[in-house]
Amino acid sequence: MQPEPIIYVIDDDDAVRQSLEFLLRTAGHTVRGFESAKAFLEILPQLRSGCIITDVRMPDITGIDLLRRVKELGTDIPVIMITGHGDISLAVEAMKLGAVDFLEKPFDDDQLLAALRSTLSRDADLAERKAKVTEIHDKLAGLSNRERQVLEGLVAGNANKTIAFDLGISPRTVEIYRANLMTKMAANSLSDLVRMAMVTGILENPGKRGR
């Protein structure tokens, strides 16, 4: 189960920042506010989840600069930009740098909350996919070299006899390895194995991932 995401609000305007924090807390979110991008950057390297809502125009370090830093660190935290009237060119630049959305002032509460819900939903889906891929890789790591070879033969569409011939073993032995694979990979069918192989890239590079 993923932890409750924290919403990081960054704005040098105290009134705006506090208003956003109040709105988000009232909507049931956990919120942390920062008066500058510099203050937020001090904790950014330790963060792995949540969502950033930041103004574009701030002194010293702008929202665009912050977004570049987030990208440089390879952090997956989504960023929603808040822009003033006439900042559309900056908003476009932000989107090119990876911002998931931007809101032009003045925006209403429902617009912000809808954008946040959409962003968190996408982020949760991404986290779930990453967790599944990690789980599959862990299962693959538990296979023997021969089991891995049989798996690669199966996902390549080869029959048991063909796999047996290629590996110099009997079809009956392939069947045993296949049964072991189904158990170790927690697969209900061959199609499950194929899906797992597609996720981890085995189908793209068969024969190059054995231990």
Domain borders along the chain are 6-128, 142-200
In sequence order, the 6+-apart residues with CB closer than 8 A to the CB of 33 are 8, 9, 10, 11, 17, 18, 20, 21
Span 142-200 CATH architecture: Orthogonal Bundle (1.10)
Whole-number Å distance between alpha carbons of 173 and 139: 21
Whole-number Å distance between alpha carbons of 94 and 114: 19
Whole-number Å distance between alpha carbons of 167 and 205: 18
* Cβ neighbour number for residue 201 with a 10 Å cutoff: 12
3-state secondary structure of 163: helix
Name the residue with tokens 């208003």. Answer: 19
Q: Could you read off the pLDDT tens digit of each residue along the chain, which spans 211 residues?
A: 456 789 999 999 999 999 999 999 999 999 999 999 999 999 998 887 889 999 988 988 999 999 999 888 888 889 999 887 666 677 778 888 888 888 888 888 998 999 898 888 876 666 677 778 888 888 888 999 999 999 888 877 788 999 999 999 999 999 999 999 889 999 887 767 777 777 777 544 444 433 3
The residues facing 30 across adjacent strands are 6
Look up the pTM and report it.
0.63
CATH code linked to domain 6-128: 3.40.50.2300
Residue 30 gets the label, from left (phi > 0), alpha (psi -120 to 50) or beta, of beta
